[in-house]
Amino acid sequence: MSKANTLNHPLVDCHLSTLRARETRSAGFRQSVRQLSQLLALHATQNLATEDFPIETPIQPATGKRLSQSIGLIPILRAGISMVDPVLDLIPSSEVWHLGFYRDEETALPVHYYSKLPAKPVDIAMILDPMLATGGSAVMAMDEIKAWGAKKIMMLSIIAAPEGIQHVQTKFPEVEIYTCVIDEKLNENKFIVPGLGDAGDRIFNTER
């Protein structure tokens, strides 16, 4: 059974249009990434487990709720960094750990160059990457997170290609993928169509 979840919301459509537009500058691009990341995280976390604990309101004792599982945010460098703060705003108790990959422009394959995971794994690892294209970086990240010992893995991507979703689900059928939209396909250069260009370049204003 497919575990790819997409958002259907007018605000998502509006922010996606901003991301896709060639004329959108880095500041506006980052702002829409932030808004979409929060909407995506809100959707992805709707079934997180909670536990009761006692609190005192200004009026009387009451019962509060808090998350009962440890959450780790794992942005894939570099573009994934842009999704961290908006998700932290929703889950401030989250840990943040990093995995770094870059795309070999000749082969379109990911190259793993950085890893920073602690000794103790979290209950739920949320991989953050604005784009799920071929799925190569995502699968490499999942391999490492699985070996680390995280009990559950989620993938949060603003935009995804069918090929990337298929690759992830073939290797890790248990992983839940959350995305704002599934685009048409990858082109011959392994870029998402219609896509939004290179998310990292547009976020950090390094387009040439």
Residue range 94-146, pLDDT digits in tens: 999 888 877 676 776 777 777 778 889 999 999 999 999 999 989 989 998 99
Centre a 10 Å sphere on the Cβ of residue 98 and count the other Cβ atoms it contains.
17
2-38: buried (b, 16+ CB within 10 Å) or exposed (e) per residue?
A: ebbeebeeeebeebbebbbeeebeeeebbebbbbbbb
Q: State residue 163's pLDDT score.
A: 95
Query: Of 18, 20, 30, 201, which residue is the catalytic one?
Result: 201
Boundaries of every domain in the chain = 4-46+69-204
Give 4-46+69-204's CATH code, choosing from 3.40.50.300, 3.20.20.140, 3.20.20.70, 3.40.50.2020: 3.40.50.2020
CB 62 within 8 A of CB 200: no
Catalytic residue status for 198: yes
| pTM for this prediction | 0.90
Catalytic residue list contains 201: yes
Amino acid 80: pLDDT: 92
Asked whether the beta carbons of 121 and 150 are under 8 A apart, the reply is yes
pLDDT computed for residue 105 by the predictor = 67
What is the structure's pLDDT at 2? 52
Which pLDDT value is given to residue 200?
A: 85
- The 10 Å Cβ neighbour count of residue 76 is 27
Annotated catalytic residue: which of 6, 18, 103, 123? 103
pLDDT, residue 107, reads 72
Q: Residues 107, 143, 170, 206: which is the catalytic one?
A: 107
Spans of the chain below 70 pLDDT: 1-3, 103, 105, 108, 207-208
Element (H, E) at 144: helix 136-148
User: Catalytic: which of 20, 34, 123, 198?
Assistant: 198
Cα dist from 127 to 4, 9, 73, 139, whole Å? 14, 22, 6, 11
Residue 116 pLDDT: 76
Query: Residue 95: its pLDDT value, please?
Result: 93
Residue 36 · residue 112 · CB < 8 Å = no
